[in-house]
């Protein structure tokens, strides 16, 4: 009949799983036909409770191992991730956002950061929560929100087992910084200069941050079957305070995912383009007067500006000039991905980076040529050295996150 979907497509729209109480079921629909006419469908129901529980246990064990690996390789990096993620979760559960768009941006950032750290259980829940809100399915969103809190609380207990509640006050010091400090003391430098050098050690060394990003890029590239890239890091011994930049670094996971997902090429693609087999990425930090600059440059696909123009036009955004296209690139909902996946496709990530950068008084520039690569340049104010005495040791907050809003529908403010 005209206007009806083919039976295969119609049945594919029906639910694949069902949960009743503590039991979980898998649903299969087979069309029933007589003389070429569809008379109905045969429903087959399988109890998959034990299989699903087994999968959850296996996933939890894998993630415990990943946490252990991250702590061994980069303890402070994981601690920073943990604190940033907990803060993000608190905002999500309290719905501390001026708009639904901001809430979705936070959930998307949570998903991206957890995927980068290979905590796929939380990343998958965040993806389904994102879908529930975007597709206006309040029951799905509410269920996934509750799962998110439960899963995070379990992860926090595992972290406590590895790290203990007390983090202590630790400082990372490079050999170059130690040598410079010794030279200042031996050379009779002023007390003010020595104090400045000592206080700056409380801040995060950007060289360590870039090395961490490089490792994340490599791990994600290999998971996406794009091989291990060649990464060049150019950084001075610049240190930045942790707290003011936490929101920026939290959203920076979207740049990592964008570079690997959209920028990096497969080995076959690079061979066809006459390029070396390994993708190349440069991470560089430099100081320019009263500002610091972060550059991320790859030699991959480059941005398809014609697609950006088309998407911008569909969204009612200006797209006549290159400046218009760059602004559109950082608008929510503009993406060149063909479909939405748990990696990308909603066009939310870059808008989150833009908002975080703008909140710090920074700017973003983009240079890209199709088939040659892309350069992202972030320019941010250089902060004044500020130090506040804090004699008490730093603590991980491991108390369960309040989930009072988990049983209610997501807000539509």
DSSP string spanning 283-305? Answer: EEEEEETTEEEEEEEE-SS---H
78 and 129 part of one domain: yes
262 and 354 part of one domain: yes
Cα separations (Å) of 238 from 28, 83, 285, 294, 408? 59, 22, 8, 12, 45
* Predicted TM-score (pTM) above 0.75: no
pLDDT higher than threshold 60 for residue 408: no
Q: Please name which of 59, 122, 62, 118 lies closest in space to residue 86, comparing C-alpha atoms.
A: 122
Residue bearing tokens 């950084």: 235
pLDDT digits (tens, 9 = 90+) for 285-301: 999 988 999 999 999 99
Cα three-residue angle 216-221-224, rounded to 5 degrees: 130
Classify residue 398: in a domain, yes or no: no
pLDDT digits (tens, 9 = 90+) for 236-246: 778 888 888 98
pLDDT on residue 286:
92
Distance, CA of 85 to CA of 111 (rounded, Å): 10
pLDDT higher than threshold 80 for residue 75: yes
108 and 249 part of one domain: no
pLDDT digits (tens, 9 = 90+) for 101-135: 889 989 999 999 998 888 888 999 999 999 999 88
Classify residue 199: in a domain, yes or no: no
- Judged by average pLDDT, the poorest of 191-205, 230-244, 320-334, 368-382 is 191-205
pLDDT digits (tens, 9 = 90+) for 140-191: 889 899 989 988 988 888 887 777 665 545 676 777 778 887 888 888 888 8
Q: Which percentage of the chain shows pLDDT scores above 70? A: 84
pLDDT on residue 398:
54
290 and 344 part of one domain: yes
Residue 78 has φ and ψ, to the nearest 5°, of: -70, -40
pLDDT on residue 392:
44
pLDDT higher than threshold 90 for residue 58: no
Residue bearing tokens 């975080």: 356
pLDDT higher than threshold 80 for residue 205: yes
334, 354 Cβ separation under 8 angstroms: no
pLDDT higher than threshold 60 for residue 271: yes
Classify residue 109: in a domain, yes or no: yes
Q: Is the dihedral of CA 399, 405, 408, 413 positive or negative?
A: negative
Give a three-class secondary structure readout of 241-282.
CHHHHHHHHHHCHHHHHHHHHHHCCCHHHHHHCCCCCCCEEE
37 and 86 part of one domain: no
The domain in which residue 12 lies consists of 7-47
pLDDT on residue 391:
40
Residue ending a domain, among 151, 166, 181, is: 166
């Amino acid at each position: 009949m005209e206007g009806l979907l083919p039976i295969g497509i119609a049945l594919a729209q029906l639910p694949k799983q069902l949960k009743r109480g503590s039991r979980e079921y898998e649903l299969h629909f087979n069309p029933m036909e007589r003389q070429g006419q569809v008379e109905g469908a045969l429903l087959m129901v399988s109890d998959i409770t034990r299989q699903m529980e087994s999968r959850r246990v296996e996933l939890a064990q894998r993630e415990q191992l990943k946490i252990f690996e991250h702590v061994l390789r980069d303890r402070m990096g994981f601690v920073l991730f943990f604190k940033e993620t907990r803060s993000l979760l608190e905002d999500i559960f309290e719905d501390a956002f001026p708009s639904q768009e901001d809430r979705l941006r936070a959930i998307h950032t949570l998903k991206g950061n957890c995927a980068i750290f290979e905590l796929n259980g939380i990343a998958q829940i965040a993806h389904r929560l994102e879908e529930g809100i975007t597709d206006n399915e309040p029951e799905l969103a509410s269920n996934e929100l509750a799962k998110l809190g439960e899963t995070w609380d379990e992860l926090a207990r595992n972290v406590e087992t590895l790290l203990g509640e007390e983090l202590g006050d630790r400082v990372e010091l490079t050999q170059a910084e130690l040598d410079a400090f010794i030279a200042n003391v031996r050379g009779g430098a002023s007390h003010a200069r020595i104090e400045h050098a000592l206080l700056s050690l409380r801040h995060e060394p950007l060289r360590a941050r870039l090395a961490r990003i490089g490792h994340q890029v490599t791990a994600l590239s290999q998971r996406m079957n794009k091989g291990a890239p060649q990464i060049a890091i150019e950084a001075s011994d610049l240190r930045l305070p942790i707290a003011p930049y936490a929101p920026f670094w939290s959203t920076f996971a979207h740049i990592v995912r964008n570079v690997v997902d959209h920028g990096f090429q497969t080995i076959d693609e690079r061979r066809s383009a006459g390029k070396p087999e390994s993708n190349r990425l440069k991470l560089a930090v430099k100081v320019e007067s009263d500002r610091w600059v972060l550059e991320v440059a790859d030699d991959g696909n480059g941005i398809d500006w014609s697609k950006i123009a088309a998407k911008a036009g569909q969204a009612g955004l200006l797209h006549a000039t290159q400046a218009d296209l760059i602004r559109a690139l950082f608008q929510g909902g503009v993406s060149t991905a063909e479909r939405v996946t748990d990696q990308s496709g909603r066009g939310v990530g870059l808008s989150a980076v833009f908002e975080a950068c703008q909140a710090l008084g920074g700017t973003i520039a983009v240079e890209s040529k199709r088939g040659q690569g892309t350069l992202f340049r972030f320019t941010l104010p250089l902060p004044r050295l500020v130090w506040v005495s804090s004699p008490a040791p730093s603590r991980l907050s491991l108390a369960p996150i309040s989930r009072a809003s988990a049983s209610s529908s997501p807000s539509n403010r």
